[in-house]
Structure 1
Amino acid sequence: MDSVSQLALGAAVSVAVMGRRTAVWKAAAWGAVAGTLPDLDVLVDHGDAIRNMVLHRGATHSLFWLTLLSLPLAAAVARLHGEGALWRRWWLALWLALVTHPLLDTMTVYGTRLALPFSDWPYAVGSIFIIDPLFTLPLLAGAGWALASRGSARGLRANAAGLLLGCAYLGWSAVAQAQVERVARASLAAQGITAGQVLVTPTAFNTVLWRVVAIDGAHYHEGFYSLLDETPTMRFDRFDRGTALAPALQDIAGVRLVAAFSKGFYKLHADGDELFVTDLRMGQEPAYVFTFAVAERHSPVRPLATPEQRSARLDVRLGLAWLWRRALGEELPPPR
């Protein structure tokens, strides 16, 4: 999730755990710090754009390593404030602020390595967009009320209510995702599309309009479904996955990394003499966040010394206008 959401979640969790045992500003401040710490891995350069992508949300998002970090962090905070008797309570607050960060990240589609060092698997539910105001605003409002009221009973109840609303929204997103997946699979079957893999993720800033990607051998199919659509059916557009380029690119490390990290939701394509690999999970056709130039077309193909990220974006005004109208159930083709 975005930094504001993680900061708000960490602050709200810490305030809920500490209650009136310490000044509410201390609990909120240290919770916000703990909720932000795991994302400091973005400051680490792993050598190239592809490795920076796939190694984000790695060791700093491991439940094991964060649990170990929580012990000295809690001891330092308790000593700093002269609250040694509250060390265990500070530990619980900061441990929860730390570990809820990767757990929340897991609800997005990116991929979070929760189980390091025991497993390298990037867990991803994909039921919430990386920025969603309906999740973040209740947390901000509740924690803000607790701070403004200096930890009054009403303020602490408001903070707890914000946390409950945030959790309920995450639960709702998973339920909505499951419903859209049922519609998508039924529509794919009705249209004679045999999909080996199906990805269902919300579009930007909401859990009403959903994007579905289905992998069908040498092609992928993209469709959109709104919970406000009149009929439970979907229309899909078909695109080439570039499998003809696979033999020439199969030995390029960056391509293998993207293929594994995306769990098969990727495409290969050429633009002039340049060859690219794209993660199909984040973005929509033809604009994707993670597109990388990895080689040049020669005989044989020549890998680039360093992969180059070539993100593409839709026109913001056009995209938001389509998003709003399509979410309300209006049948519109996606902007291309």
Structure 2
Amino acid sequence: MDPVTHGIIGASASQSFSTQKEHRYAAVTGLLAAMLADLDILISDASDPLLNIEIHRQFSHSLIFIPVGALLAAGILWWFMRQKISFKKVYLFSLLGYATSGIVDSLTSYGTKLLWPFIDERFSWNIISVFDPLFSLGVLIAVGLAFYYSNNKIAQFAWAWMLLYLLFGMIQQERGKDVAKSLANQRNHQIEELVVKPTIGNIFLWSIRYKTTDTLYADGLHLMSLTAPTIYEGSAAPLLDWKKKYRSYQGTTLYNDIKRFDTLSDGYLIQHPEHPNIIGDGRYAMLPTALNPLWGIKIDTTNAEMHVPFKTFRNPTSNVRSNFLNMLLGRNHTFTR
């Protein structure tokens, strides 16, 4: 989730357990502690581009690291607050704020290693976008009013808003799964793996990705109301059998990096349609109906012992923006790719 939303959620957690006298210190502490976990984005190695992606949402977001992360935050913040509030309270507020980071991220896509190092699995509930302004606005209003009036009861309204919003997201997702299964049945497809997740910035336009045999299918789904959903049938692309294609490179850095990226992409690897030397993550595209990956790795078989470069392909052209807006508004429209 975006850093600002992380921060205000952390603030709402610490505010909810503060007295009126310590309320504003609690808010600042919870806000900054919640944002601390995402500093893992700074861990990188220029010679190994995939390291940064592997580390993000890993140890710093795991449940077992919460007391450690809170201690780091408290150690820094208490230096500025030591004459106003005890270290014990700063640590408590840091703990409440930091604890929200990994849990909130797991509600989005991409995945969070909540149980690292015991289980090396990324948890992704896919019920809210990594950036959802409506969700964030509700939290911000409650946190801001609670801060202004130094009232922890108002801060608790933020949690009521979050729970209701996330519950709605779960309902939307279940509706999306039902539609995906119906679509697959109409096409005589047997779904092997399915991902249904909201598109960026909203909870009404959803992306469907499902695997069947050796093919990945993409569709869009508008779920604004409880009436019949609007379906936007999209693209299909063959899944990349990278183990077969790059069998002769086993043991090389190239092969190992493809394997790492396959793990990070949860096995949704496809060839980028516009870049033949790019292996992309088929779960993410600018449009829910498209299979033009937002990111991927560049393959160079002439340098098999070099780490693969990581490339991004975010190009919101006017055509892409227009198509996205039409789908977001639920318009029946013929889309161009």
Give yes or no for TM over 0.5. yes
Amino acid in structure 2 at the alignment position of 1:223: D
Q: How big is each residue's C-alpha offset from its partner over 1:132-180, in whole Å with a ceiling of 9 and x where there is no partner? A: 012111121112222333x1x4xx4332212320222122112211111
Counterpart residue identity of residue 126, structure 2: G
SS at match of 2:277: strand
Deviation at residue 45 of structure 1 after TM alignment: 0.8
Which residue identity is paired with 1:2? D
Q: Which stretch of structure 1 is more off in the superposition, 302-311 or 171-180?
A: 302-311
Partner residue in 2 for 1:225: 221
After TM superposition, give the deviation of residue 72 of structure 1 in Å.
6.2
Q: What's the counterpart of residue 177 of structure 1?
A: 173
> In the aligned structure 2, how far is the partner of 1:69 from the partner of 1:168?
29
Partner of 1:253: 256
The match for 1:326 is 327
Alignment of 1:273-284 (within 5 A): 275-283=277-285, 284=287
Q: For 1:305, what is the secondary structure of its paired residue?
A: coil
CA–CA separation in structure 2 for the residues paired with 1:255 and 1:73: 36
- What is residue 126 of structure 2 aligned with on the other side? 126
Give the Cα–Cα distance (whole angstroms) in 1 for the partners of residues 24 and 157 of structure 2: 18
1:212, 1:224 → 2: CA distance?
6
Q: Secondary structure at the match of 2:312?
A: coil
SS at the partner of 2:304?
Answer: strand
> Which blocks of at least 5 consecutive residues in structure 2 are unaligned?
none
Q: Aligned partners of 1:316 and 1:37: how far apart in 2?
A: 34
Larger CA deviation: 130-139 vs 160-169: 160-169
1:116 aligns to 2:116 (yes or no): yes
Q: Which amino acid in the other structure matches residue 332 of structure 2?
A: E
Q: Within 2, Cα distance between the matches of 1:331 and 1:318?
A: 16
Counterpart of 2:176, as a letter, is V
1:212 alignment partner in structure 2: 208
Which stretch of the first structure deviates more once superposed, 59-68 or 321-330? 321-330
Measured in 2, the distance between the counterparts of 1:334 and 1:97 equals 43
Partner residue, 2:31: 32
Map Cα deviations across residues 85-141 of structure 1 (whole Å, 9 max, x no partner): 672x54433212111111010011111111112111111111111100121111211
Letter in 2 for 1:262: S
Paired residue for 2:239?
241
Measured against aligned partners, the alpha-carbon deviations of 1:204-251 in whole angstroms (never above 9, x if no partner) come to 1111110101112321110011114864574343222233x5423353
- Assess if the C-alpha contact under 8 Å between 2:236 and 2:291 holds in 1: no
TM-score by length of 2: 0.86
- 1:2-32 per-position Cα deviation (integer Å, ceiling 9, x unaligned): 111111111121111213141x331121111
1:254-269 alignment runs, 5 A limit: 254-269=257-272
Distance 1:177 1:216, change over 3 A: same
Partner-residue secondary structure (3-state), 1:65: helix
In 2: Cα distance, 1:324 partner to 1:124 partner = 26
Partner amino acid for 2:38?
D
Task: Tell me whether 6-15 or 97-106 shows the greater mean CA deviation.
Answer: 6-15
In angstroms, what is the RMSD of aligned CA positions?
2.6
144, 156, 160: which one pairs with 1:160? 156
TM-score by length of 1: 0.86
**Cα gap change, 1:160 to 1:320, in 2 (>3 Å):** farther
Are residues 246 and 110 of structure 1, via their aligned partners in 2, closer, same or farther at CA, if it must alter by over 3 Å? same
The reply to whether residue 293 of structure 1 matches residue 298 of structure 2 is yes
Q: Which amino acid aligns with 1:66?
A: I
Query: CA-to-partner distance for each residue in 1:9-62, whole Å, 9 max, x for gaps?
Result: 11121111213141x331121111101110001111144222221221111111
Map of 2:20 onto structure 1: 20
- Decide whether aligned partners of structure 1 residues 90 and 18 sit closer, same or farther in structure 2, where only a CA change above 3 A counts: farther
SS of the residue 2:308 aligns to: strand
1:191 partner amino acid: R
Please tell me whether the aligned partners of residues 287 and 313 of structure 1 are also in contact (alpha carbons under 8 angstroms). no
Cα distance change on mapping 1:64 and 1:83 into 2, 3 Å: farther
Aligned to 1:10: 10
Offset of 1:268 from its aligned partner? 3.4
User: Which residue identity is paired with 2:201?
Assistant: F
Deviation at 1:277, TM superposition (A): 1.8
Contact preservation (8 Å) 1:187, 1:233: no
Q: Which amino acid aligns with 2:34?
A: G
Q: How many residues align?
A: 324
Measure, in 2, the Cα distance between the counterparts of 1:131 and 1:242: 30
Matches within 5 A, 1:301-312: 302-303=303-304, 305-312=306-313
